[in-house]
Amino acid sequence: MTEAAAGKVQPNSLRVTLWILLIVYIFNFLDRQIVNILAEPISRDLGLSDTQIGLMTGIAFAAFYTFLGIPIARYSDRPSTNRVNLISISLVIWSGMTALSGMAQNFIQLLLARIGVGVGEAGCTPAAHSLIADLAPPEKRASAISFYSLGIPIGGLLGMVMGGLIADAYGWRIAFFVAGLPGILMALVVWWVLRDPRMSTLVENRPAASTLSTKEAIREVLSSRAFIYLMIAGSAAAFLGYGKATWTTIFFQRTYELTPGQVGFWFGIGGGIAGVLGTYAGGWFADRYGKTNRRHVLTAPAIGMTVAIPLAIAAYWQQTWWVALILIMLPTVLNGLYLGPTYSCAQGLVPLRARAMAAAVLLFAQNLIGLGLGPLFFGILSDVIKPMAGPDSVRYVLYGAALMGLIPSFFFWRASLRLNEELDKKG
């Protein structure tokens, strides 16, 4: 289907699809991130080290999520694949495994359950991005993907608030059950309501799309220098984002002696609202200023991540928890600007038949490096400096994480310099 054909799909189809996919992505991140607020009570109950917390919250999920993402995206890019069915089945798997996490009796069992969540979630976002790119016209794609990406902060907010409050009242096991089981019902809604435009009579007369081999699809994706810069920038941003998300919640519990429920409520609401504002603003800035010069699609992420550095350091330096909480909201907004612009650019830099693969390759790098290594790296670093820093080890780790924000900022700027040339070629 050509760009013009995509724009002819009825507007309501895009609107309904976006709202339902947003809810799916909220479940996706709720189930993925709830383990962060539960990490400290799980650690006390099962006797885990900081390194094991990093493994549980990071690499256990990310390794399977990322490596399965490529073949699943390859399957999603096939013209005969019903992407709605793929998303529905994936939702059942990851929701069920989230619920099973509450039954774990030791570290290995919990690790296996988190691996199962990663297996299920691998089938969601590449297919969802491909669906959105088919339905949304190019000039609205950044806003559409940003809207879908609101599932990240909203899901994180619900995971923090709900997980913390339920853990305080009933324990961390019940929190996993409550988080996971509703997703199975939502999978039925997705299957019943949504339709893949590939299967629709709206596009039944489109020319048949040729199928790329996996090697050809990856070659198409990696032939773009701008995409490679985006992948580096997005991976660095995810490394810092996931690492800070896990250890900031632990920082508030250890440093200020707050309960999981208190941290989940205050940090979840504050961080969730800030994340929503940043994600929405990123898409708005990209569509607004990208109209005149497409390199400005990535200007807000490049500037925002640089400005966020001193604000984050000031937040972690505070001795009063509510002052730290207020200050940390500003860098959270700025660090959220990159999501919509990054994924919308990725969809525009590759041919139609490689769109799900582009999302999967980007997610592969972001999640393996970001989700897989971010929490683990900062956990190892905390263990290393703990003999010298004592209870403040996490605070010093977070100082370093804030300074590393210069890395994604630089690569977003480098990617922006090539956007006009490469998008013209693909257009």
Domains, the chain, ranges and CATH?
3-197+214-426 (1.20.1250.20)
pLDDT class for 200, splitting at 50, 70, 90? Answer: low
Do 127 and 87 meet the contact criterion of CB atoms below 8 Å apart?
Answer: yes
pLDDT class for 208, splitting at 50, 70, 90? Answer: very low
Calpha distance 359→363 (Å, rounded): 6
Question: Other CB atoms closer than 10 Å to residue 96's CB: what's the count?
Answer: 18
Calpha distance 213→141 (Å, rounded): 26
Q: Which of 284-288, 404-408, 412-416 has the least mean pLDDT?
A: 284-288
Buried b (16+ CB within 10 A) or exposed e, 162-171: bbbbbbbeee
Do 135 and 16 meet the contact criterion of CB atoms below 8 Å apart?
Answer: no
- Average pLDDT over every residue of 73-98: 90
| Identity of the highest mean pLDDT range in 132-141, 318-327, 372-381 | 318-327
Calpha distance 322→267 (Å, rounded): 10
Calpha distance 138→89 (Å, rounded): 29
What's the chain's average pLDDT? 85
User: What do you get for the CA distance between the two ends of the chain, in Å?
Assistant: 13
Pull the structure tokens for residue 339: 């999501």
Residues 6+ apart with CB under 8 A from 402: 244, 308, 309, 312, 313, 316, 331
pLDDT at 182 over 90: yes
pLDDT in tens, 301-355: 999 999 999 999 999 999 899 999 999 999 999 999 998 899 888 888 887 777 7
pLDDT at 212: 66
Question: Other CB atoms closer than 10 Å to residue 188's CB: what's the count?
Answer: 12
Q: Which of 72-76, 171-175, 394-398 has the least mean pLDDT?
A: 72-76
Closest CA to 370 of 8, 31, 54, 37: 54
Taking the CA atoms of 330, 331, 332 and 334 in sequence, report the sign of the dihedral they define.
Answer: positive
Q: Which of 265-279, 351-365, 392-406 has the least mean pLDDT?
A: 351-365
What is the DSSP track for 118-152?
Answer: HHHHTTTHHHHHHHHHHHS-GGGHHHHHHHHHTHH
pLDDT at 91 over 50: yes
pTM: 0.73
H-type helices in 210-338, by residue range?
214-222, 225-256, 260-290, 299-317, 321-335
Helix or strand holding residue 76 (H, E): helix 60-76
pLDDT at 187: 95
Do 234 and 366 meet the contact criterion of CB atoms below 8 Å apart?
Answer: yes
Q: Look-up: residue for tokens 């200050």?
A: 327
Buried b (16+ CB within 10 A) or exposed e, 302-319: bbbbbebbebbbbbbebe
pLDDT in tens, 155-171: 988 988 888 889 889 99
pLDDT at 75 over 70: yes
- Average pLDDT over every residue of 222-237: 92
pLDDT at 210: 53
